[in-house]
Each structure stands twice: as structure tokens, then as C-alpha cells.
Structure 1
Amino acid sequence: MLDLASEELLTNAERRRWQRERRSAWLRLVALAILVVNLGLAGTQDSEIVHANVVVAYGALTILALVLAELRRGTKWLSWLYVVFDALLVVVLFHEHLFAPGKDLDHALTAPSLAIGFVLLTHAAMRLRPMLVFLFSGIVILGWLALLTVAVEAHLGKGAPHARDWSAFLTEAALAAAFGFAALVCGLLTHDHNVLLKTAVLAERRRANLSRFFSPTVLTELQATGTSLALGRREVAVMFVDLRGFTSLSESIPLEMLARLLAEFRELVTREVFAHGGMIDKFIGDGVMAAFGQPKSTADDAARALECAVHLRSMLHDWAAMRRRRGDVDPRAGIGLHFGTAIGGVLRSGSHDEFTLVGDAVNVAQRLERLCKPLDASIVVSLEVVEAGRGQGLVNWQYENGVEIEGRSKRMRIAYVSNEQGRATGELIQQGVCR
């Protein structure tokens, strides 16, 4: 079964197809008017029947194309049928003067016939499909040259070769070559257009995909400098932000309120992270993982991350107070932050590119965020962040030197900011959180 994204792509492709069909059908109407004017001004008594048949045939197909396009009916191969039919009409117009009565070849009607040929060539090119352009021009040129050869031999068969016969042959061949060159240019232009369009679509899709992770300013800089997003090992500050008690909360409030709560929380965190030059690695349910130092490390990554965490703590406190005033639930949030080595970059998997960040720094940051609950803290950071970020004076830190981190044999030194209802350190020691 197709997923929603695939269905949307198919729907958009079908809509664009019928937009092209409607445009092509209405342009056929314009081409019909040009055809009538050119053939009317250039017509002679001998060519009136041919011209009338061409106009009627082209007009009938134009009406059919308009009706089908407006009703959104018909298969994709109809565009091939239209192009073949138009090409054959052009060959018929060339046939009309190539087999004109008389011993000498007469190409007096070539100019208006060629004008119509070029008009229908450009109409085929408007479909932006090179194969249709080459099909149209191939039928016209092959038919043109085949009829030209038959006509010359028919004229030469009436008597000795005449200089005007060969002159007319060469003139017609030169015109056919000019038409072929114009068709080649149209085909190449449509091909280049499709390549550029595909490249632009892929670039925009890639930009839209990366805009989930990077701020507009950082994204513009990445595109301007051509910074590589391939996997690389760098020093990075990783931050986890998580809502406390969200599982039980999600079972007690309506889904609309839950959706609004998550949307507000994610928007607030994203805005603050982007404001400090960080990136959003991913949203994990009621949590957000952010990083500072991707896709390239700078000397102030830890400082910006620590400042962001402190500002975000204040913003989340104000947000909770605002929700409380309007009668909504006001969950607390915990922030964990660590500075260390991680592997980050874009992983390509089919049509979806995903920025990923893995490594010790990620694991430690997540474990530190989980300590917010037993420590009753709003921020828990490793001492490496405080030292690297020179953040001793940002808030009133409390320090612990022997904190046990899951998955690590050595205990860590941490700094944290307690909530007003913080627990005593003695209780934490009894629970084995710190020594």
C-alpha cells in the first residue's frame, strides 16, 4: 500500500500533467489561428483543397484535445499521437508544393509552409519532452526528404536533367537541414530544462529536509560555503530536553490539548536552539535532541550550548507559568548537556536523507537529562561543559563529583540547577545516585 507521501507525489504529478495538457490544448488553438492565416494568405487555386483539408483535420484534433484536457480524460500516449499527427500534416503541406504541376520544381510555397512547421515544432517543444521533439522533427524531415527525392526523380524522368531541378533540390535540402538544426536546439533546450528542473527540485527537497535540523541562517551559510555534511568525527555539545511526567499526562488530557502542548514545546525549544546557532538533531516524542558544533566545530560551541540551556530553562519556566494562567497543564522540563566527541553527518537512505549524531557525547547527554528527575533539577550538565563554556557565573550551580552514569564505568563530575523543591544530597547518596 502506498504511504501518504507517495500518494501526495502521485497526486501532484497527475495535477501537473493535466495542467500541461490544458496549456498544450489551448496553444493548439493559437496555432490553428496561425495556420489559417498563413495558409489563407499564401493559398492558390491549386492548393485550396489541400489547405482546407489540413485546417479541418488540425481543427478537429484541436477540439478533441481541448475537450479531453478540460475533462481530464485520456491516456499519456495521446501526446505521442498529437505529435505524430501534427508532423504528418506538415509533411502534407510540403507535399503540396513538391508535387506542383510543371517540369521544374517550384518551392514558392516553402516560406508559409515552413512557418507552420516551425510553429508546430515549438508547440511540440512546449511539452518539455525531448523525445517528442525528436519524434516530430524526425517524421517531418524523413517525410520531407523522401518526398523531395520522389519529386526530383519524377521531374527528371520527364526529360534531361535541368539545372533548376538540382538547384531546387539543394535549396529544399538546405531548408530541411535548417529545420533539423532548429529541432536539435529545441530538443537540447528541453533536455537541459528538465535536467535543471530536476536538479532544482532535488536541491529544494534537500534544503527542505535539512531545514528541519538547521536554522535558516546556518542553512544559507552551508549552501554558500559548500560545507560537507558527510559523516565526520567532531567535538560537539549535545543537549537533550524532555518533558517530565509526559506519559501519565498524555493519558489524562484530550488529544487536541496534547498536540498543542507538544507543538508549543517543540517550537519554543527549536527557536531557542536556532537562536544560539545550534541544530535540531531529532524530535523524540516529548523530547528534543539538539547539537552545537555540527556540521563544523567552532571554539565557542560549548559556551553557546550552555548559554542556550540556561536561557531555555528560563523560557520553559515562563511558558509553564503562561499555560498555568490560562488553565492548561504546565509540565516541567529537564535539560541534559554534555560536551565530547560524536560522529555526525547526513545518512542517505533511498529518497530520504537523515542527519544523524551518534557517539559517547550523545549517550552521556541523554543520561544526564534523566538525572533531572532524581536530582529534582532543571539542568544537569557535565563539568566539561561548564569548564569549556566558562559558565560558572551563568546560574547558581551545584556540583557533584561522584555521579554514576549508566553505561560508564567511571563516575562523572556534574553541575546542576535545582528546582525549589530539590531533594537533599543525603537522600541522593542513599539511592546511589552520587557519592
Structure 2
Amino acid sequence: MAPDPRARALFLGVLPVPERQAVARALRTETVGGLVLLAAAVVALAWANGPFPGSYERIRDLHFGIPALGLDLSVGHWTADGLLTVFFLVAGIELKRELVLGELRTPATAALPVIAALCGMAVPAALYAAAVGLGGGSLDGWAVPMATDIAFALAVLAVVSTHLPASLRAFLLTLAVVDDLGAILVIAVFFTTDLNPYALAGAFAGLIAFYVLQRARVSGWWCYLPLGITIWVLTYNGGIHPTAAGVAMGLILRTTRDDGETAPPAERAEHLLRPVSAGMAVPLFALFAAGVSISVDALGEVFTSPEPLGVVVGLMLGKTLGIFGGTYLAARFTRARLNPDLAWADVFALAALAGIGFTVALLIGELAFPQAALGEHVKAAVLLASLISALLAALLLRRRNLLYRRLCEQEDTDPDAEGMPDVHHQAPPACAGMDRPEGRFG
């Protein structure tokens, strides 16, 4: 029997299958995922600075869980330690794919983005240390400006890019994957509590079981879901930030396709989990992490207190100088070479875009500064630096996009109507890198 078209839709009910599939497809795109993340951050700021700011703090600090398992956490911690694990699991899958099939599989292709990413982590940390050293602040937040938010950065690139080279997105993705790996290692090594060797041994045993199941070609969520939750609980109780468990499981998932398989397990898992990560995990984390008090005094603290100022300098200046300088030095003094489709002006715009340090920077800020007042100022610094970096990068990328659009229009020009664009009678086509000889700055 056909449904009555006049029937009212159930408020907050489950969407029909076609609509659920459409929403999931949308959340797999960088633009939509970035916009959802931005909307969550805006809601958090409006809620925390609205007429009822106390309600935001009460809900964020509300505790629930299973105390017997050591899981009596606040809502904010559940989103940071629990839901964000899904985001890092997807990041682990992306890293595994790059290591096996992508830009990181050979040293020659990996050298440039890896060096750029390492410099893009080292320089912001050094500038933060210099800022707090001169101002007499705490070095605890040295890792806050190291991380790039891949969701926001790719969203900005997707919105601006219509004629930019596809290699620009590949460079950013590879750069961000290495950047995420660095942030994960920093969290695991430097932001740990008292270690519980028995719980960690159990988590390691769970990862071995996960690996064995993959090698045995065992499939089915009913097997991996309880195992994954167990590994997460043991990692949390072991004293290591539990997002590391998500990365480890992502790296274990198989990325190569067997005969008869339509897709490898890593691809299937990413297909299922990316909408959950982009549509629920990351936005909810942003909702309960970005709700900082914005006032004239609070903004003043960002530029007068050494720790927030170090974060702003590290993200805005350090990321740009580190990535651009690292790329140039690698291309100048090693065998690594910049993709011929890219100009140095493209790399500079991309380096500015990497100053968006939203999700992981907020997470590290919470771990580095659990004190309420200083932690709020550092969060405000992350938000402000990310916003300015996004706007600056959008302007630079838009300028480059206009240039590439004109070049492509020239390539397609055929005034004599002979069926072949005139540019093909000349040198290599403009869109293939005609204006980008090696060493030229755009």
C-alpha cells in the first residue's frame, strides 16, 4: 500500500532510505563536511555568548557513563575522546591508503610533501616557544599550532577551486595526512596520563586480533565493532589518548582489493564512517569545544597573553613560512621536485590555507591547558587564527583561480573556427603549466 502523501512527516524521525543516502553522499564531500563543521562552531559561539551561557557549560560538563569501566566522562570529553576517535580512524585509513597506493608509497613522490609537513609542524612550534619565551608564558602549548584541519582546508579549497590544478588538492591531502600523523604521535607521546601497562597490553592484544581477522579475510561489523570498542576502552584506561586507537585500527585495515571483491575493507569502512565523522563526530566535538566567551577583554587576551599570542603566530605565520620554506628548500637542495602543474604562488596560498588548525588544535589545546581561563583564551586564539588564515588563503586562491581560468579560456580560443584551439599551434597549452617554469614564483 502506497504511503499517503498528505501524511505528516514525523518530527526528528528516521529519514527514508533515498534521503539518508543523499545526506550520506553530501557528507562525503569536503565542501558540505566543512560547512557542517563551520555551522557547529558558529552555534557553539552563539550559545556560549547568548543570553543563557550557563546552559552551555552545564550540558558540556554533564557526566555520564560506566564508572566500573573507568568511563565516567563529561559530554565534552565523550565528544573529544569518544566520537573524535571515528575522525582519527578515517584519518588512519587515509594515511594507510597514501602509504600503500598514494603519494607516500615511494620516497621520490613522498619527499616534498613530507618535508613540507615536517617543517610546517616544526616552525609553528618554534615560533610558539619564542613567543612564550619572550613573554614568560608556558611551553605546554607548543603543539597547539602544529595541526592543520583537513576538513576546513579542503572545504575552502573546494569552494574556491574551479580551475586550480588537481595536483594542488593532492598536495594538500598528502600534506595533511602527514600532519595528522604528526599530531597523533604528539598526542600519544606527550599528552598521556599515568600509564596502565595491563590495560595497554590488552589494547595491544586487541589490535593483534584485529590484524589477524584482517589477514584471515573475516568480514562483518558484528565482529569488528565490539572489538574496536574494547580496544578503545583499554586504550583510554591505559593512559594514552584513545584517538590513537582509531588511527591504529585505520592503519591495520586492508587497502588492497582481493579477486572478486568490489572494494577492500578500508574503502568500505571509510565509505560508511566518513558521513558519521563529518556529520556527527567532528561537528559535536566542535559544538562542545568551540564555545568560548568572546568579548573585548577576551580578544585582548589573545594578543597580550603569551600563550594565545604564540598560538596565533604559530598558526598564521609559522604554518605559512614552514610549509612554503620547507617545500622550496626541498626542491632547491634535494632531488625532490615541485609538480610541474604548480607554481610557487600556488604553494604559498596552500601554505596559508594550512594555518586553519581547528579540530586537532582545539583538542591539543584542551589537553595542554586544562585550566579553564587559559584554556578558553587558547581556544579563542585557535578560532581567530583559523578564521584569518581561511580568509587570507581564500583571497590568494581566488586570485590564482582567476589566473588559471583566463589561461584555460585562452587555450580554448579558436577564432578561425578550424576546430582546433590556436594555443595548440604554439607552445605547450597554458593549462598544462605553460606559465609555470621551474623556479618561477607565479
On whether the aligned pair clears a TM of 0.5, the verdict is no
Greater helix fraction, Structure 1 or Structure 2: 2
Ranked by relative contact order (alpha carbons within 8 Å, sequence separation 6 or more), the top structure is: 2
What TM-score do you get using the length of structure 1 for normalisation? 0.25
| Greater C-alpha radius of gyration | 1
Greater strand fraction, Structure 1 or Structure 2: 1
